[in-house]
Amino acid sequence: MNVNFDSALTAAHAAAAAQNHPTGTLYVVATPIGNLADISLRALHVLSLCDTVACEDTRHSQTLLRAYGIDKSASNWLALHQHNEAEASEEVIRRLQSGQRVAYVSDAGTPAVSDPGARLAWQVQSAGLRVIPLPGASSVTSLLSACGTPGHDSSGFIFVGFLSSKATERGHAVELLNQEPRTQVLLEAPHRIEALAAALGILGDRPVTVGRELTKQFEEIATVPAKDLSAWLSGNAQRTRGEFALVVHAQTQVLAESSDNDRLLKILMQELPLKTAVKLAAEISGEAKNALYNRALELKQASAG
């Protein structure tokens, strides 16, 4: 698909040129995970403004920037990836100390989440230099925003990323996932997705949302029980292609039937607001607060009826 971004680049300069973009600063720039139109105006302006673009793959990032009408000479590029991050970070620091603006981009998405960049940002800050983030696309937040969650789940999420490619280590990691009640986000490559799906089968009926090829032409998002994930993948030959993000949803908290818990809640609710009663009941009984809150609502509705 041929897209002309000339007007976007003009708009980017109009929108961001008046803003302060200090020299001697590292700009951590999020780039699209698929759809080129997901770049921000601020990112376009800074990428055209900066003296050096540090990146995972110079050829990939050169192609990306040229799609937006930004062309840099060879001296403006610096390869910085997982195999040379420590050494290349020292070169970034030298360029920053000379007064350059340096942008860092990963191959796609937000740097330092699962891609390189975290060590770079740490070393730059440790050297007393400034790091400015330019937010944008992320497969993690994109899928979380679309997959939904039960209204009572306010426990947040855990970013897990890629599990080990070794079967034994991957199996152990999934056992730990099973013990964690909160929502968890995983990433996976196409050549390993079937092995991951098979491993996640031990989670049984726990819902898993799969995001495949997010923001791209053949984007697909589906929620299935973990035990059915392998069958879902095999249901269509296209489903094992592309990059994957997966959300393992929070476990449904079920409060064991207990006349003692009900009696405790009823007594506390007679004297205290519902949230305060639940908080105290959780401290006294050791039960999960969310489960007690849901039970308190049931008891309140029953008494009202």
pLDDT 10s digits, 265-291: 999 999 999 999 999 988 888 777 777
Q: How far apart are CA 209 and CA 11, in angstroms?
A: 36
Domain presence at residue 16:
yes
Let me know whether 110 and 159 are in one domain: no
Domain presence at residue 38:
yes
Domain count within the chain:
3
The average pLDDT across 37-53 equals 98
Cα angle: 214, vertex 219, 224; to 5 degrees: 90
Let me know whether 100 and 186 are in one domain: no
The average pLDDT across 23-33 equals 98
For the cut 90, the answer to whether the pLDDT of residue 261 exceeds it is no
The interaxial angle of helices 274-285 and 259-271, nearest 10 deg, is 140
Q: Which of residues 248, 275, 294 is at a domain's end?
A: 248
The four Cα atoms 85, 90, 95, 101 give a dihedral, to 10 degrees, of 50
Let me know whether 239 and 265 are in one domain: no
pLDDT of the residue at 138: 97
Question: Which DSSP string do the residues of 57-100 spell out, in sequence order?
Answer: -HHHHHHHHHHTT----GGGEEE--TTTHHHHHHHHHHHHHTT-
pLDDT of the residue at 152: 57
pLDDT of the residue at 251: 82
Q: How far apart are CA 130 and CA 39, in angstroms?
A: 23
Domain presence at residue 253:
no
Let me know whether 225 and 281 are in one domain: no
Mean pLDDT of all residues belonging to the chain? 92
Let me know whether 88 and 111 are in one domain: yes
Q: Which of residues 85, 109, 137 is at a domain's end?
A: 137
Domain ranges, residue 204 = 140-248
Domain presence at residue 254:
no
pLDDT of the residue at 1: 47
Let me know whether 89 and 169 are in one domain: no
Please state the length of the chain: 305
Segments in 115-257 forming alpha helices (H): 118-126, 139-147, 167-179, 193-200, 229-234
Strand 183-188's sheet: what is its strand order?
Answer: 157-161, 183-188, 244-248, 207-212, 220-225
Output 190 or 252, whichever has higher pLDDT: 190
Burial class of residue 256, CB neighbours in 10 A (0-12, 13-18, 19+):
exposed
Q: Tell me the CATH number at 76.
A: 3.40.1010.10
The average pLDDT across 226-251 equals 95
Q: Which of residues 74, 107, 137 is at a domain's end?
A: 137
Domain presence at residue 70:
yes
The average pLDDT across 8-35 equals 97
For the cut 70, the answer to whether the pLDDT of residue 98 exceeds it is yes
Q: How far apart are CA 27 and CA 246, in angstroms?
A: 29
pLDDT 10s digits, 129-179: 999 999 999 999 999 999 988 665 667 899 999 999 999 999 999 999 998
For the cut 80, the answer to whether the pLDDT of residue 294 exceeds it is no
Let me know whether 10 and 88 are in one domain: yes
Let me know whether 90 and 165 are in one domain: no
pLDDT of the residue at 149: 80
Q: How far apart are CA 129 and CA 300, in angstroms?
A: 56
Structure tokens at 112: 């330092």
Let me know whether 169 and 53 are in one domain: no
Domain presence at residue 186:
yes
Let me know whether 166 and 94 are in one domain: no
Domain presence at residue 35:
yes
Let me know whether 188 and 265 are in one domain: no
Let me know whether 195 and 263 are in one domain: no
Q: Label the pairing between strands 220-225 and 183-188.
A: unpaired
pLDDT band of residue 305 (cuts 50, 70, 90) is: low
